[in-house]
Amino acid sequence: MSEKQVPLVVIKRLPRYYRYLGELLRNNITRISSTELSEKMGVTASQIRQDLNYFGGFGQQGYGYNVEMLYNRITSILGLDRGHKTVIIGAGNLGRALANYGGFANRGYNIVGLFDVDPALKGTFIADAPVMMYDELKSFVEKEKPDIAILSVPKNSVRKVADDMVKMGIKAFLNFAYVDLEVPDDVVVENVHLSDSMMTLSYRMASKAGE
Amino acid sequence: MSEKQVPLVVIKRLPRYYRYLGELLRNNITRISSTELSEKMGVTASQIRQDLNYFGGFGQQGYGYNVEMLYNRITSILGLDRGHKTVIIGAGNLGRALANYGGFANRGYNIVGLFDVDPALKGTFIADAPVMMYDELKSFVEKEKPDIAILSVPKNSVRKVADDMVKMGIKAFLNFAYVDLEVPDDVVVENVHLSDSMMTLSYRMASKAGE
DNA sequence: TAGATTGTTAATCGATTAACAATC
DNA sequence: TAGATTGTTAATCGATTAACAATC
């Protein structure tokens, strides 16, 4: 892709467009203008048109956008139609919850296995996915070639796990541990720092109350 | 607070400063300059100084910042020293995982109860917190006055739950359901949309691989 | 004091919004 | 065609970075 690089802020908005368009589609709405969509989503129509135009002209002057076509295009841009083999490292409470999370499987993120160090879990299944031991991970990755690793391990082991997996060739991590990972340039990390969200939340709550 | 409003981008960076300062503190580092901190954190020194100055001059020319003092100030700004009674609505896999999540309790987010509609859970405990029935929530809120509600209920019930709880006087929600909540102006919401993070992750992975 | 580093103002950069010609 | 609405350029706004006087 030698296209001009799309800003990260724009990319982060795509899932939200995807979500709203999916809703419109389920309500059998076939066309929508940027103005109508902007009212529903609480953003400007200008932003919607700018954002979509990073990926090409999906609309039609005088008409607006075809909901289904736009939905399909965004699905494809986000790669949701391609399927992604995903492993979860750490089968504790959080790992189990994530394996059971419906929002992943039906967008093509297939959990193909969980890994833990607790021998009691060996051979068990969570949401149809087998739980294996961490020392089996390397050969599993070689054989199955998963794309994405979800890291729900304790923070004192996450750096080692990430390093190991980078060596195995994994290029994408969803990290739940309360640590910033350092990875090579060709590897991407999304952090879900739950404590950070709580802190931002309580700060904003307090500052509203104090006004 | 009639101070000038601090931009949201700055507030969202505070937890990260808090985290790095905590680490320095545990390593017995007593002072740090904005330049040194900027190298560790991978941001500019200018940004650090600008950010901190929204809250007052915490440094000293020629010296830098006292780590413990700065840590304590940020702790206080974020309200982590005040304690927040928190309830979790939805005691499914995710709710249980969150109740067990250590990162909340030791930053003052005390889970005082979970609520669900499954009668089988009534009277049980998760991580020392009692599980109660959703119809007990109103009287519980009146008595205990929690500050924060974590919403880990299915997406088709989250709007009703949020509406109910706004009426009960709850001002802050951490929402895990895949829906944007509409709340009054004096109520704050932080969304944790796990699918969105996965989508952004896989998009970025694909666009790196394609270059 | 001299050196270091902040706090803060000014310059730059990037993202958002507005405007409108192109066109369905 | 006339009306509507996009795609895109230009203007504005806000956030980041640079620079440096203040000062410990």
Per-residue CB contacts under 7 A with strand C, chain B residues 45-64: 45-46, 49-50, 52-53, 57-64
pLDDT of residue A2: 36
Distances (CA, A) of A187 to A55, A173, A190: 23, 8, 10
pLDDT at B119 over 50: yes
Mean per-residue pLDDT over chain A, rounded = 95
Extended beta strands in chain B, E state? 31-32, 59-60, 64-66, 84-89, 109-116, 125-126, 129-133, 148-151, 172-175, 188-191
Q: B202 contacts in A (CB within 8 Å)?
A: 78-80, 84, 109, 147-148, 172
Q: Calculate what percentage of chain A has a pLDDT beyond 70.
A: 98
Q: What's this model's pTM, rounded to 2 decimal places?
A: 0.95
Distances (CA, A) of A152 to A7, A133, B97, B197, B202: 28, 15, 11, 15, 18
Chain B residue whose CA is closest to A82: B202
Nearest CA-CA distance, residue B108 and chain A, Å: 10
DSSP-derived letter for residue A56 is -
- Strand order, beta sheet including B84-89: B125-126, B129-133, B109-116, B84-89, B148-151, B172-175, B188-191
Encode pLDDT of A154-182 as tens digits: 999 999 999 999 999 999 999 999 999 99
pLDDT of residue B1: 37
pLDDT of residue A1: 37
pLDDT of residue A144: 97
Determine whether the interchain pair A178/B103 forms a contact, defined as Cβ–Cβ distance below 8 Å: yes
Encode pLDDT of A64-77 as tens digits: 999 999 999 999 99
Encode pLDDT of A9-62 as tens digits: 999 999 999 999 999 999 999 999 999 999 999 999 999 999 999 998 899 999
